[in-house]
Amino acid sequence: MGVSLLGNQRQATIENSKREKIELFNTVLFFQDKMDHSSDQVSITTNHQAIEYCRKHEISPNQLLIKGAKIGSVEKMRIAWLAEADKFKKAFIKSAEHGNLSCSVWLTKLRERLFMEWQEDVYGNAMLRASYNGRIEIMIWLHEMDKITHYEGIFSEAAGFGEIDVMNLIISWGVDVDDEYAIDKAVRNREIKSIKALKKWGMLKSNYLLGSASVRGRPEMMSLAKEWGATNYGYAKRVAILNNKDKSIKLLAEWEREARAEL
């Protein structure tokens, strides 16, 4: 009798947990994507139905969760959760990367209701992915949450991808950024428009640009640095030599000769 009683109590606990899960989702359904109402989805309200949906579509709950975050389907994420998906942090970052604000908001509300704790790196990674994909709306929303304290890498990644509007937005927030790291990222990816933007905003050191461009063999950016007043040809040539950048070495040697001739 004791074993039977314990078994009944355990089953009752499981059933209560399932009911609580359904009730939770009834409270957050107002975030559901209005464009995603196929007949085989809107009727799904139980764990069993959600698992059957995943089995029918040959997709795991976590794969469905991530897919929903990527394509902007809150409904797919809801089904994935009912099927016991648990990769919510990854889904949150993916939703930010793809600019799906409704999914980001829904996941945040779910986190709050389930009392899940996310560290700053989750929000930072979401902001980073949003930044180099130009997701301005998501970035503003994330910034207003006040969960991110370091923007140096985010700003620099935006520079590396030529996201000028994103760079400008971050500057407008008055946060600390690393202009040298941003130069390096822009030089590495040949993003001249980012270099020109940094110059326009008074954030570009011409001699640093010369060294960074020399070490990566970017003659067009080296020429810009020279045009903007860079004169440290000797140092730039030494780092170019260390990195076997023959074209940079040749160009810098020529500029050194010209500079000496003008003395």
Q: Whose CA is closest to 105, among 89, 119, 92? A: 92
Is the pLDDT assigned to residue 17 strictly greater than 90?
no
Is the pLDDT assigned to residue 16 strictly greater than 60?
no
pLDDT in tens, 150-194: 999 999 999 999 999 999 999 999 999 999 999 999 999 999 999
* pLDDT (mean) for 84-103: 97
Length of the chain: 263
What b-and-e string marks burial along 161-174, b requiring 16 or more CB atoms within 10 Å of the CB?
A: bbbbebbebbeeee
Q: Which pLDDT value is given to residue 42?
A: 56
The domains found in the chain, sorted by start residue, are 1-113 (no CATH), 119-204 (1.25.40), 205-263 (no CATH)
